[in-house]
Structure formats: structure tokens, C-alpha cells
Amino acid sequence: MKVVVCVKQIPDPAIPGELNPETNTLARDDKLILDESDSYGVEMALQLVEAAGGGEVSLVSMAPRSETSGLRTALAMGADDAVLISDDALAGSDALGTAKVLGAAIGELSADLVLAGVESSDGYTGTVPEMVAGVMGLPSVTFAKHIEIADGVANVQRQTEAGYDQVECALPAVVSVTAGVVEPRYPSFKGIMAAKKKPVAEKDLAALGIDQASVGTAGARQETVEVTDAPEREAGEIITDEGDAHQNIVEFLAELKVI
């Protein structure tokens, strides 16, 4: 079985984000890392291939400046190889532009199953996996919390507002995986060393046959007209508990007539 996992390399979420003052898009000038949301997709892929008795896990990522740091992390977890799409013309791409690029790259890989995180931690539109399926003309099951594959059919528990739906889908298909449903493995030292030698094929837009005008800022067809600071909440009262702080809560609730 061949599983392709979409992974995003993002600015470290521990460092406060900034907008590029010229383009008003997220600044991505520093080193990028593997989005934690995608580590669940990578782990799920590794587990499904193990359960199938063997196969291959390939990564596909779109990132500026030939960035591979995040890809190496996923390769160290156990993925076999990666395709990186990097092209200056991709700056400013929105979800649809990203999906056009990922879809074209995945289309060259003959995947049985395409996995992705539900949403990235920086853009969190939650639309790219479904758009990739749309671009590729494949069925999709989003918000998966459990996946089983048997006889070329995926059985997926799809999270809903009320609980979950059991969904059946013949492969190939795109499935997006919710955070927390598997425990992503830590790369071993051996894995990290091996990852350095694993193949990463880099491609640009021309190699994928994509028109520059359909992606990047031009393809996004949206214009930032204003960025404002949100009003902050007024600072409240902070009390250190010395055994009776619960009384302050009782008084507060009584004042609000909750009790």
C-alpha cells in the first residue's frame, strides 16, 4: 500500500507570529518546523502501512526557500521519501492555490491513500484536504478519528458535531486526520540519522505544469485592506489562594446573580 501524507512546514508556534508588513501575509523568514497537526497524519500513515503488512509512506510539502527541516522530522519518524514543491511564485498562495500544487504533485505518485491533518496550526482554514480531493477528482473523508483499511476499502469514523459517522469509501481517497487520535512517535537517533539520507525530490511550478497566475498572490485574488489591533479585555482581579479564595468566587458569582 502506498500512502501519501501532506505535511506543512510552519514557523515555530512558540514564537509570536508576525505579518510581513508589505504583503500582510504570515512572515515565514525563519526556520520552519513540522506542523504538529501533521504529525498525526504521518503517524496514522505509518500505522496503516504496518497494519497492511508493508508499503510505502511518501510526504508532499509546499514550502519557501527549499525548506526541508520539517520534512526531515517526518522522515525521521519513518516516512520513506518526500516531494518538496518550492517556487518563489508560490508566495501568498491561499488554500486553493496550495491544493492545486499539492494535488498536481500527489497525482504523480499513484497513491492508494492520501492523508493530511484537518487543519494547519498557522492558517487553520481546514479546507486544503477537501480541496486536494476536489483537484484530484477523488472522494474524501474529513475529520477522521479512526481509520481501518481492508480489501481496498477505508472504514473511517468521521467526527461530527453530535458524535461520529461511520463512513465507507473505496480507495483511492483523501482522508484528513484530527489531532490527538494517534500518539505520534518520537524519532529515534537511528531514525534521525537515516532521515538525512532519505530522498527529497524538489520541484518547481514548471515541473508540475502549473500556470504561475493561478497560484501565489495573483491566484489568491484577495486583498488585505486593513489590519487592526483587537480591543484587549480589561485586567481583572488576581488573588493568590491562601485557603479561602473560593469565597471570592462565591461572592463574584453571587454578585452576578448566578447563585
Partner 1 sequence: MTLAQILLFAEGDADGASGLTLELATKARDLADTVTAFAPAHGDAMAADLGAHGVSTVYALEGLGEGLIGVHAAAALAGHIEATSPDAVFFGQTTDGRDTAARLAVLADRPVSTNNVGAEIVDGGLVTEEPIFGGTQNIFTAYRAPAPALAMFRPKSFEAEPSGGGAAAVESVAAVDPGEAGRATVTGRHAEERSGPQLDDAAVVVSGGRGLGQPEAYSMVDELAGLLGAASGASRAIVDAGWVPYAKQVGQTGKVVKPSVYIACGISGATQHLVGMKGSKNIVAINKDPEAPIFGVADLGIVGDVHKVMPALIEALKSR
Between residue 17 and residue 46, which ones bind partner 1 under the rule CB under 8 A? 17, 19, 24
Rg (CA), the chain: 22
Q: Which is nearer to partner 1, 190 or 233 (CB)?
A: 233
The Cα–Cα gap between 22 and 71 comes to 28
Residue 105 sits in the site that holds partner 1 (CB under 8 A): no
Total residues at the site for partner 1 (CB under 8 A)?
A: 78
Distances (CA, A) of 19 to 26, 93, 130, 146, 184: 5, 15, 27, 36, 30
| CB of 54 vs partner 1, minimal distance in Å | 26
Question: Cα(67)–Cα(70) distance, rounded to whole angstroms?
Answer: 8
Minimum CB distance to partner 1, residue 61 (Å)? 19
**Residue nearer to partner 1 on the CB measure, 53 or 166:** 166
CB of 230 to partner 1, least distance (A): 6
What count of other Cβ atoms lies within 10 Å of the Cβ of residue 232?
Answer: 6
Q: Are 201 and 208 in contact (CB under 8 A)?
A: no
Which residue in 163, 189, 197, 209 binds partner 1 (CB under 8 A)? 163
Mutual orientation of helices 95-107 and 128-136 as an angle, nearest 10°?
A: 50
Site for partner 1 in 190-229 (CB under 8 A): 220-229
Beta bridge partners of 155: 148, 168
Q: With CB under 8 A as the contact rule, which of the stretches 57-65, 71-79, 195-203, 235-243 interacts with partner 1?
A: 235-243
Task: Indicate which single residue of 124, 188, 202, 206 sits in contact with partner 1 (rule: CB under 8 A).
Answer: 124
Of 159, 192, 201, 212, the residue at the interface with partner 1 (CB under 8 A) is: 159
| Closer residue to partner 1 in complex, CB, 53/238 | 238
Site membership for partner 1, residue 110 (CB under 8 A): no
- In the region spanning residues 61 to 90, those forming contacts with partner 1, defined by CB under 8 A, are none
Q: How far is the CB of 136 from partner 1 (least distance, A)?
A: 9
CB of 208 to partner 1, least distance (A): 17
Q: Is 248 in the site for partner 1 (CB under 8 A)?
A: yes
Q: CB of 181: closest distance to partner 1 in angstroms? A: 8
Give the three-state DSSP class for 49: helix
CB 193 within 8 A of CB 132: no
CB neighbour list of residue 44: distance below 8 Å, 6 or more residues apart: 115, 147, 177, 181, 182
Among 34, 45, 135, 149, binds partner 1 (CB under 8 A): 135
- Residue 43, φ and ψ in degrees, nearest 5: -60, -45
